[in-house]
């Protein structure tokens, strides 16, 4: 009778140990609770960051769309101003084109704007003719500048050389076409510039006038003159630092322009040219200064 309870207790103990062993095996085969919590938290954090990025992108997109709607009226207003500006520019260009057309169709009726004349005239390469130079004049080596020298040169007499008027001609024979050249006068205080016939008198006293084959303008003692007969006093709005001489041979037109501001100086009454015409330069005295032909740039 005593043995049965003991055996029963032994069986219960063994059964309990077996149950604890099974629980221990199951527990060891499953992940720990701490590991599961860390993994879940990391995954949750990733999702939260992804949702935050998506949210911020959508927010910026909506802000951008809202800003576009806000500035759309400003853009439309700016576009209207640009269109108006382009229209005004086009109208101004059309007006300028009409004025240029009027100018080109009637040279003598529109004697302004030297730049417009340049479009219709050929710029000529020009140097000075040493064989024609008065002994008191000194030419530069390249033949584009003339100045006065105190002691006249001892030069051989020649039918081509001026011996009374201190003049020199350009090495250019003009018999047709439209051409022009520019001369820098700077602060030179007395000079004559223009054209003349090749067969003018170069000896003795000569009056420079169209009747004698001269078409020129003059600066002398602070006054500007056109060498007409009688001479014409010129009133200039600005002192020229450079003078342009424009010659239309067939039209008999000789015009002078202030190349400093592009304004018209003088046009001689229409002439009938014949024979050879040549550029003319004159200095008056030792304190006159110098004249320089503007170099034509190569195209």
80 vs 295, residue with greater confidence: 295
Residue 184 φ/ψ, nearest 5 degrees: -80, 120
Q: Which spans in the chain are helix H? A: 3-29, 33-105, 114-120
* Rounded distance between C-alpha atoms, residue 4 and residue 14, angstroms: 15
pLDDT at 6 over 90: no
Count the neighbouring beta carbons within 10 Å of the beta carbon of residue 276: 13
Q: Above pLDDT 90, what percent of the chain? A: 47
User: Which pLDDT does position 10 carry in this prediction?
Assistant: 52
pLDDT at 169 over 90: yes
Averaged pLDDT score across all residues of the chain = 83
End-to-end Cα distance, the chain:
138
Q: Domains of the chain by range and CATH?
A: 113-293 (2.60.120.920)
With bands split at pLDDT 50, 70 and 90, how would you rate the model's confidence at 111?
A: low
Closest CA to 254 of 268, 240, 265, 244: 268
- Residue 147's DSSP bridge partners are 138, 290
pTM exceeding 0.75:
no
**pLDDT per residue over 176-201, tens digit each?**
999 999 999 999 999 999 999 999 98
Q: Write the CB contacts of 90 (distance below 8 Å, at least 6 apart in sequence).
A: none
């Amino acid at each position: 009778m005593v043995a049965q309870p003991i055996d029963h207790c032994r069986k219960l103990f063994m059964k309990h140990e077996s149950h604890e062993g099974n629980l221990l095996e199951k527990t060891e085969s499953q992940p720990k609770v701490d590991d599961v919590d860390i993994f879940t938290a990391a995954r949750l954090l990733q999702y939260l960051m992804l949702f935050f990025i998506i949210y911020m992108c959508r927010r910026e997109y909506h802000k951008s769309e809202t800003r576009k709607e806000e500035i759309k009226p400003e853009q439309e207003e700016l576009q209207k101003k640009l269109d108006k500006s382009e229209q005004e520019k086009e109208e101004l260009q059309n007006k300028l084109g009409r004025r240029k057309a009027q100018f080109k169709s009637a040279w003598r009726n529109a004697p302004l704007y030297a730049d417009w004349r340049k479009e219709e005239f050929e710029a000529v390469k020009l140097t000075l003719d040493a064989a024609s130079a008065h002994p008191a004049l000194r030419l530069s080596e390249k033949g584009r500048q003339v100045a006065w020298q105190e002691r006249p040169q001892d030069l051989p007499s020649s039918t081509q050389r001026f011996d009374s008027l201190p003049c020199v001609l350009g090495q250019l024979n003009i018999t047709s076409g439209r051409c022009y050249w520019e001369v820098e006068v700077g602060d030179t205080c007395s000079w004559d510039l223009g054209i003349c016939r090749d067969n003018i008198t170069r000896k003795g006293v000569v009056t420079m006038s169209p009747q004698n084959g001269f078409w020129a303008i003059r600066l002398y003692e602070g006054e500007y003159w056109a060498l007409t007969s009688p001479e014409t006093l010129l009133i200039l709005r600005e002192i020229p630092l450079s003078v342009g001489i424009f010659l239309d041979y067939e039209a008999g037109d000789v015009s002078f322009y202030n190349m400093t501001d592009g304004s018209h100086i003088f046009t001689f009454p229409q002439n009938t040219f014949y024979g050879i015409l040549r550029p003319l330069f004159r200095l008056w005295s030792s304190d006159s200064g110098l004249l320089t032909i503007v170099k034509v740039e190569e195209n």
